[in-house]
Amino acid sequence: MHNHYYQPEAETMPVENIKKLQEEKLKKQVRHVYDNVKYYRDLMDAKGVTPDDIRTLDDIKKLPFLTKDDLREAYPYGMLATDLKDCVRIQSTSGTTGKRVVAFYTQNDIDLWEDCCARAIVAVGGDENDVCQVCYGYGLFTGGPGLNGGSHKVGCLTLPMSSGNTERQIQFMMDLGATILCCTPSYAAYIGESLKERGYKPEDNKLKAGIFGAEPWTEEMRRDIEKSLGIKAYDIYGLTETSGPGVSFECEEQTGMHINEDHFYAEIIDPETGEVLPEGSKGELVFTALDKEAFPLLRYRTRDICVLKREKCSCGRTFIKMSKPMGRSDDMMIIRGVNVFPSQIEAVLLNNGYAPNYQIIVDRVNNTDTFDINVEMLPEDFSDTPKTITKKEKDLQNAMKTMLGINPAIHLVAPKTIARSEGKAVRVIDKRKSYDTK
């Protein structure tokens, strides 16, 4: 048991007070956005809603939703709610301008974001005696910077490893005695395997806990990782649009992630109708950022399907809990931690002179995602020599890597060999069991 908190007043606040606080913040935030973000003001005007109409939390239902399409429309600066001079950083997701999300931060935004990550670290038992190895990617991706900041705030000795180079990860982990590991669950599983291959037993490392997120993972995978590393594995959730990791985090109960409700207001809606569903229903998660200054999205549709539940938690936190995401209401895939849309793949094919006849095959082999794309050759290329075909595959792979940020294996196949479908084309074959089916 490690019943302590990073910010106890917030994390254990009575529910009535949370609601009051959210209501106050919501009113202010709607005013801030209305006054500073023309894009959203136009949406509100079109719906006939003014900031004065938002008096209670329930009034949030009157506000328009935002989606990734809105972010695309408003790219790059259209959602910015402060002067550029007040912004100190961006973070971003991979992809083309169309699907890329660029989020802006003031110093205060970064501070509150890092607080959220610090809460997650303390919730798994972290304190200033810990050695926290962060192997989420650093750079534009939010994982590395977010957990790095949280780890500093807690006062852990922070190992800013970034992702990859497993040999070096293991060396630092063992030599410096890392006690907390932060990375994607698939990378954690891979590190576990690599340790075993090198003859290490779970008790040979000093790790006690892991903070794993950025992609869906199952309870089975949790058990595997816990066993192979000899640790407790905790979930963490977030998205670039809401700052990054730390929107919600698991406590020692490991039964869902507490949402940092002093900073985020969560709703569950019916993805078809947009209707707000009662607590306990399964639906699409929608967030309103209550404190963000530079990039304050209101009613942002995450496309993640999950359930919210407010129940007494043995950890003493009063924040509502979200289940692990159970699926998506769009076609986004998360491959090796990177968000990938089939439409991006299609765009690369078309830009490179191929017809949009393709199939994406994703699987998880030895806890690592495999990513293959079968693409039909053009009829005129069919007579090419194997050497030129290999060259074309390589070129297409490079173009994909530039667009997506990860490398698929490209297989050029004979024309007319990918089955034409009569209804909706089956473009994606995802063999992973990444979502819990419960």
**Where on the chain is the footprint of ligand DLL (CB under 6 A)?**
93, 136, 142-143, 213-216, 235-240, 244-245, 302, 304, 324-325, 334, 339
| Identity of the residue, 116 or 345, whose beta carbon is nearer to ligand DLL in the bound complex | 116
| Nearest distance, CB of residue 244 and ligand DLL, angstroms | 5
Per the CB < 8 A criterion, the answer to whether 13 and 22 are in contact is no
Coil, strand, or helix at residue 17?
Answer: helix
| Nearest distance, CB of residue 214 and ligand DLL, angstroms | 3
| Identity of the residue, 91 or 357, whose beta carbon is nearer to ligand DLL in the bound complex | 91
Nearest to 43 by CA among 72, 63, 22: 63
Residue 222 and residue 347: Cα distance in Å, rounded? 36
Tokens of 369: 């995602």
Nearest to 284 by CA among 276, 293, 292: 276
| Identity of the residue, 43 or 188, whose beta carbon is nearer to ligand DLL in the bound complex | 188
| Identity of the residue, 291 or 304, whose beta carbon is nearer to ligand DLL in the bound complex | 304
Q: What angle do CA 234, 186, 426 make, to 5 degrees?
A: 120
| Nearest distance, CB of residue 141 and ligand DLL, angstroms | 6
Coil, strand, or helix at residue 145?
Answer: helix
| Identity of the residue, 142 or 359, whose beta carbon is nearer to ligand DLL in the bound complex | 142
| Nearest distance, CB of residue 307 and ligand DLL, angstroms | 13
| Nearest distance, CB of residue 380 and ligand DLL, angstroms | 39
| Identity of the residue, 93 or 205, whose beta carbon is nearer to ligand DLL in the bound complex | 93
DSSP state of 252: T
CA distances from residue 111 to 23, 117, 131, 146, 262 in whole angstroms, order as listed: 22, 10, 21, 10, 14
Per the CB < 8 A criterion, the answer to whether 371 and 335 are in contact is yes
What DSSP letter does each residue of 348-411 carry, written as one string?
Answer: HHHHTT--S-EEEEEEEETTEEEEEEEEEPPGGGTT--HHHHHHHHHHHHHHHHHHHSS-PEEE
Tokens of 106: 């003031």
| Nearest distance, CB of residue 49 and ligand DLL, angstroms | 26
| Identity of the residue, 207 or 335, whose beta carbon is nearer to ligand DLL in the bound complex | 335
| Nearest distance, CB of residue 146 and ligand DLL, angstroms | 6
Nearest to 268 by CA among 240, 217, 309, 232: 309
DSSP state of 48: T
Residue 257 and residue 120: Cα distance in Å, rounded? 10
| Nearest distance, CB of residue 238 and ligand DLL, angstroms | 4
Chain residue whose CB lies nearest ligand DLL: 213
| Identity of the residue, 100 or 427, whose beta carbon is nearer to ligand DLL in the bound complex | 100
| Identity of the residue, 267 or 376, whose beta carbon is nearer to ligand DLL in the bound complex | 267
Tokens of 371: 């990513």
| Identity of the residue, 335 or 410, whose beta carbon is nearer to ligand DLL in the bound complex | 335
E strand map for 149-254: 157-160, 180-183, 209-213, 232-239, 244-250
| Nearest distance, CB of residue 324 and ligand DLL, angstroms | 6
| Nearest distance, CB of residue 379 and ligand DLL, angstroms | 39
Nearest to 25 by CA among 310, 288, 308: 288
